[in-house]
């Protein structure tokens, strides 16, 4: 091919890759398959190595990092990088509003605010001269920061060259570099696999990645940048409103936050805060609050600054999700299947909106990984509805009296032997149904809403029944008499009658509930449903061979093995027999497998918060009805189940014209399919 043609190909590769990058990293709207992108990139790199004179500093191939530095240079910010005042409640917001009214007088009525999620990352400044990235710097103390140009060049959402036209000759863009949650998880997973140290949270991971002297390391880290303001601007002008400035920046190639909005008045700011705080956990990145800015730049100018913060903006912070406290002790809990879980007893601490005094430590591997000792100062995290976790130890504050955690050699409840099964992280009490803790947990599971749904049989009552020796297995529940119940604390005539009636009522059940209620290892609600539908009745199920079990959806060798063990255990079969003798019964299922799968061949997506069902159960039901459940919306999606707080997936579904149902309609649909929840 003549060189002129190659050069033309080269130019169009550059342009295509640049556009695809922008669509992918800035707009979050990929337009070409990864394979095509990769092919173009390989071709570009091939041409650049054949004709090195063509290679430009802003080529999309130049994102891989360069020679390591010995230290970072210093950068002076001509326009200082300031911080923000904080607000913690509605009152602080009202005070902020009053300060604005006092200064702006009549202009303060119906004031427009730009609302922007406050990303939890590292503030940086990017300087463009003539549209080319010249310098990237950290905020430092606001006046002097570090030169991290080599590192920022590796971040794909940062343009090396501005797109379009009309940008100022000198343009300093500011924003936050952060690590999305998913990238953070996979980075930590990789570190764990290699036995390396993990990062405590996405913010630390982002900071650590930017602080690398070797930019090739930074290039491997999943960092993004989102822009929120400008600093130095010379030789050109910008729109007159904050939100418009951001739109303009987006056109020039910068990523901006898609949750940002413009509202009128402080009450609307508070509503926005509430709305986003409900969606906080489902956002793909960490935010620690919302920034509210007076939208009109002219008014911003009038308001000016005090000390190190502008008068025209405020950051309303969410309650912290991480706090420091002390580990008082570690106790061991025995679960339904005998798994022994270490639980941290903590000095109570207010975190994530509640007081936390216990947190799980998962298992021995986790205790080793954290190197946590009794008496240590620890960082506790509670995000949303997630159970509290100990995320790290503040080693600097370790006292010489701290004590290593010692794991029990015998079950703390029944003194049976403890074993660690091959390939498993968990310790397990081998006492089985002899262990009171396992008895209690098994009964609790059996009585729970999704299983036998025995109203009034709660945790406290189960504790007493087992401790008093009245019940040791679920089969004995149906032999309880009124006199038995009346011997218990806080059980009177009426509650005894109610409980007996509830027990009586629970005898009429369904096969899926029965299978689920037995608490066979790894057999959750969805698997129980699949088993019931596949075999139709208990007798065929209990006689099934391993091969037959493996034919059931979602049943792999491990589940099949647990089922087989259950059906070969005399004590388990005895429990089943006694339940049936007591009158427990269910109708057999006679529908054919095809009719059972009304959603076969369809792909569904579940998003947002499902109040009654929970997302996991919703997915399990969908799968049982034959649907595939996917993590993202595409043209192939048949329907989206969306609860409150649904975000980008819902938006996409609406854009693509895909059916969306709320939880209420979904429950009605399940009911129509014979699934009671």
**In this complex, which beta carbon is closest to ligand IVH, that of residue 140 or of residue 432?**
140
In sequence order, what are the residues at sequence separation of 6 or more whose Cβ sits closer than 8 angstroms to the Cβ of residue 643? 607, 608, 609, 610, 611, 615, 662, 663
**In this complex, which beta carbon is closest to ligand IVH, that of residue 75 or of residue 443?**
75
Cβ contact 330:374 at 8 Å: yes
Active-site residue, 165 included: no
DSSP, residue by residue, 30-95: --S-HHHHHHHHHHHHHHHHH-GGG--TT-TT--S--SPPSSPPEEE-SS------EE-SHHHHHH
Candidate list 44, 65, 104, 118; residue touching ligand IVH; CB under 6 A: 118
Residue 299 engages ligand IVH in binding (rule: CB under 6 A): no
d(CA 577, CA 584): 10
Candidate list 93, 123, 560, 599; residue touching ligand IVH; CB under 6 A: 123
Beta bridge partners of 291: 116, 315
Q: Determine the interface stretch with ligand IVH among 114-122, 161-169, 429-437, 540-548 (rule: CB under 6 A).
A: 114-122
Residue 228 engages ligand IVH in binding (rule: CB under 6 A): yes
Per-residue binding string, ligand IVH, 61-100, x by CB under 6 A, is ---------------------xxx----------------
Cβ at position 514, least distance to ligand IVH in Å: 53
List the Cα angle 129/80/69 in 5-degree steps.
60
Q: Interaction with ligand IVH in 314-333: which residues (CB under 6 A)?
A: 315
Residue 173 engages ligand IVH in binding (rule: CB under 6 A): no
Q: Determine the interface stretch with ligand IVH among 28-36, 307-315, 322-330, 577-585 (rule: CB under 6 A).
A: 307-315
Total site size for ligand IVH, rule CB under 6 A: 15
**In this complex, which beta carbon is closest to ligand IVH, that of residue 118 or of residue 316?**
118
d(CA 421, CA 337): 13
Residue 158 engages ligand IVH in binding (rule: CB under 6 A): no
Q: Interaction with ligand IVH in 175-194: which residues (CB under 6 A)?
A: 176
**In this complex, which beta carbon is closest to ligand IVH, that of residue 10 or of residue 184?**
184
**In this complex, which beta carbon is closest to ligand IVH, that of residue 315 or of residue 488?**
315
Q: Determine the interface stretch with ligand IVH among 22-30, 116-124, 396-404, 597-605 (rule: CB under 6 A).
A: 116-124
**In this complex, which beta carbon is closest to ligand IVH, that of residue 288 or of residue 463?**
288
Candidate list 119, 266, 517, 620; residue touching ligand IVH; CB under 6 A: 119
Residue at token pair 């059931």: 552
> Residue 626: enclosing H or E segment and its boundaries?
none
Residue 116 engages ligand IVH in binding (rule: CB under 6 A): yes
Produce one character per residue of 24-55: b if its CB has 16 or more CB atoms within 10 Å, e if not.
bbbeeeeebeeeebeebbeebeebbeeeeebe
In sequence order, what are the residues at sequence separation of 6 or more whose Cβ sits closer than 8 angstroms to the Cβ of residue 653? 605, 633, 637, 640, 642, 659, 660
Cβ contact 142:308 at 8 Å: yes
Structure-block tokens of residue 530: 């699949």
**In this complex, which beta carbon is closest to ligand IVH, that of residue 229 or of residue 416?**
229
Q: Which residue is nearest to ligand IVH (CB)?
A: 123
In the DSSP assignment, the letter for residue 389 is: E
d(CA 461, CA 444): 10
Residue 291 engages ligand IVH in binding (rule: CB under 6 A): yes
Catalytic residue among 105, 118, 619, 649: 118
Q: Determine the interface stretch with ligand IVH among 309-317, 389-397, 504-512, 561-569 (rule: CB under 6 A).
A: 309-317
DSSP, residue by residue, 322-355: EEEEEEEEEEEEE-TT-EEEEEEEEEEEEETTEE
Residue 303 engages ligand IVH in binding (rule: CB under 6 A): no
Closest by CA position to 285, among listed 243, 262, 257, 327: 257
Residue 310 engages ligand IVH in binding (rule: CB under 6 A): yes
Beta bridge partners of 349: 356
Structure-block tokens of residue 666: 């979904």
Given the DSSP bridges, would you call strands 313-317 and 86-87 parallel, antiparallel or unpaired?
parallel
**In this complex, which beta carbon is closest to ligand IVH, that of residue 229 or of residue 377?**
229
Residue 313 engages ligand IVH in binding (rule: CB under 6 A): yes
Cβ at position 595, least distance to ligand IVH in Å: 53
Which active-site residues does the annotation give?
118
Residues that bind ligand IVH (CB under 6 A): 82-84, 116, 118-119, 123, 139, 176, 228-229, 291, 310, 313, 315
């Amino acid at each position: 091919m003549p060189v002129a043609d190659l050069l033309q190909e080269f130019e169009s590769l550059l342009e295509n890759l640049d556009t695809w990058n922008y669509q992918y990293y800035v707009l979050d709207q990929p337009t070409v398959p990864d394979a095509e992108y990769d092919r173009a990139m390989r071709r570009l790199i091939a041409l650049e190595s054949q004709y090195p004179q063509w290679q430009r500093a802003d080529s999309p191939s130049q994102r891989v990092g360069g020679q390591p530095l010995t230290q970072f240079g210093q950068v002076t910010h001509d326009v200082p990088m300031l911080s923000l005042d904080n607000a913690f409640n509605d009152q602080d917001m009202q005070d902020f509003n009053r300060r604005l009214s006092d200064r702006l007088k009549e202009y303060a009525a119906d004031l427009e605010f730009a609302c922007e999620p406050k990303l939890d990352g590292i503030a940086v400044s990017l300087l463009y001269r003539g549209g080319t990235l010249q310098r990237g710097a950290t905020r430092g103390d606001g006046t002097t920061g570090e030169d991290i140009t080599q590192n920022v060049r590796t971040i794909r959402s940062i343009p090396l060259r501005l797109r379009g036209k009309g940008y100022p000759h000198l343009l300093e863009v500011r924003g936050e570099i952060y690590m999305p949650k998913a990238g953070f998880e996979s980075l930590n997973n990789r570190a764990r696999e290699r036995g390396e140290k993990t990062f405590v949270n996405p913010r630390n991971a982002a900071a650590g990645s930017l602080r690398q002297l070797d930019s090739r390391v930074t290039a491997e880290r999943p960092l993004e940048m989102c822009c929120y303001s400008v600093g130095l601007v010379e030789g050109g002008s910008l729109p007159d409103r904050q939100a418009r400035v951001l739109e303009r920046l987006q056109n020039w190639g910068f990523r901006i936050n898609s949750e940002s909005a413009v509202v009128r008045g402080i009450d609307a700011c508070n509503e926005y805060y509430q709305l986003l705080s409900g969606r906080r956990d489902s956002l793909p990145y960490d935010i620690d609050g919302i920034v509210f800015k007076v939208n009109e730049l002219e008014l911003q100018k009038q308001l000016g600054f005090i000390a190190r913060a502008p008068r025209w903006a405020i950051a309303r912070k969410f309650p912290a999700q991480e706090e420091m406290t002390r580990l008082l002790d570690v106790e061991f809990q025995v679960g339904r299947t005998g798994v022994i879980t270490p639980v941290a007893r903590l000095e109570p601490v207010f975190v994530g909106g509640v007081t936390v005094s216990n947190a799980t430590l998962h298992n021995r591997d986790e205790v080793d990984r954290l190197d946590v000792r009794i008496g240590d100062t620890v960082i506790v995290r509670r995000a949303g509805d997630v159970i509290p976790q100990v995320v790290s130890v503040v080693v600097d504050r370790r006292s010489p009296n701290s004590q290593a955690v010692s794991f029990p050699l015998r079950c703390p409840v029944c003194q049976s032997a403890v074993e660690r099964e091959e390939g498993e992280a968990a310790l397990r009490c081998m006492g089985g149904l002899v262990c009171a803790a396992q008895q209690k947990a098994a009964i609790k599971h059996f009585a729970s809403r999704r299983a036998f749904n025995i109203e009034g049989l709660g945790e406290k009552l189960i504790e007493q029944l087992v401790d008093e020796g009245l019940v040791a297995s679920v089969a004995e529940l149906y032999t309880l008499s009124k006199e038995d119940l009346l011997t218990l604390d806080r059980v009177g005539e009426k509650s005894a009658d109610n409980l007996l009636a509830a027990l009586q009522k629970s005898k009429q059940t369904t096969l899926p509930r029965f299978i689920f209620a037995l608490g066979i290892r790894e057999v959750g609600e969805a698997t129980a449903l699949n088993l019931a539908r596949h075999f139709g009745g208990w007798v065929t199920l209990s006689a099934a061979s391993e091969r037959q079990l493996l034919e059931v959806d979602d049943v792999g060798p491990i589940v099949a093995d647990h089922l087989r063990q259950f059906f070969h255990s005399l004590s388990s079969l005895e429990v089943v027999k006694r339940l049936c003798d007591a009158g427990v019964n269910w109708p057999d299922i006679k529908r054919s497998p095809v009719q059972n799968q009304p959603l076969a061949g369809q792909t569904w997506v579940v998003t947002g918060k499902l109040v009654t069902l929970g997302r996991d159960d919703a997915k399990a039901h969908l799968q049982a009805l034959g649907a595939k459940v996917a993590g993202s919306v595409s043209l192939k999606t048949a329907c989206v189940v969306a609860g409150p707080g649904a975000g980008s997936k819902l938006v996409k579904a609406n854009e693509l014209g895909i059916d969306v149902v709320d939880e209420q309609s979904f429950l009605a649909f399940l009911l129509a399919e014979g699934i009671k929840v």
